[in-house]
Copies of this chain bind each other. A is one copy, B any other.
Amino acid sequence: MPLSGQSDFRSAIDFTALAVERTMDRLLPKGSDPEARLFEAMRYSVLGGGKRLRAFFVMASSTLFGVASQAALRVASAVEFVHAYSLIHDDLPAMDDDDFRRGQPSCHKRFDEATAILAGDALQALAFEVLAHEDTHGDPAVRTQLVAGLAQAVGPHGMVAGQMVDMDTEGKALSMGQITRLQRLKTGALISFACSAGAILAKASEPARHALIAYAHDVGLAFQIADDLLDVEGRREDTGKTPGKDAAAGKATFVSLLGRERARDQASLLADQAGRHLDMFGNKAELLRQAARYVVDRRA
Residue ranges of A at the interface with B (Cβ–Cβ < 8 Å): 29, 33-35, 37-39, 42, 85, 89, 92, 94-95, 112-115, 117-118, 120-122, 124-126, 128-129, 131-133, 139-141, 143-145, 147-148, 150-152, 154-158, 160-165, 167-169, 178, 181-182, 185
Contact, CB under 8 Å: A156 / B124: no
Nearest 7 CB-CB pairings of A with B = A125-B155, A94-B113, A129-B151, A132-B148, A35-B161, A122-B156, A132-B147
Given contacts A35-B156, A118-B164, 4 further A-B contacts (CB under 8 A): A34-B165, A35-B168, A126-B151, A126-B156
Contact, CB under 8 Å: B165 / A35: yes
Contact, CB under 8 Å: B89 / A34: no
Contact, CB under 8 Å: A89 / B121: yes
Compute how far the CA of A63 lies from the CA of B42 in the bound complex, rounded to whole angstroms. Answer: 39
Chain B neighbourhood of A140, CB < 8 A: 139-141, 143-144
List, sorted by A's number, 29 A–B pairs whose CB atoms are closer than 8 Å: A34-B168, A35-B168, A38-B161, A89-B121, A94-B113, A94-B114, A94-B117, A95-B117, A115-B164, A118-B160, A118-B163, A118-B164, A120-B121, A122-B160, A124-B125, A126-B156, A128-B147, A128-B151, A129-B148, A132-B145, A132-B147, A132-B151, A139-B140, A140-B140, A140-B141, A140-B143, A143-B144, A143-B147, A147-B147
Chain B neighbourhood of A152, CB < 8 A: 129
Contact, CB under 8 Å: B42 / A156: yes
Contact, CB under 8 Å: A164 / B113: no
Minimal Cβ-Cβ distance residue in B for A160? B122
Chain B neighbourhood of A118, CB < 8 A: 89, 160, 163-164, 167
Complex partner residue of A125 from B33, B144, B151, CB under 8 angstroms: B151
Chain B neighbourhood of A121, CB < 8 A: 85, 89, 120-121, 124, 160
Minimal Cβ-Cβ distance residue in B for A131? B147
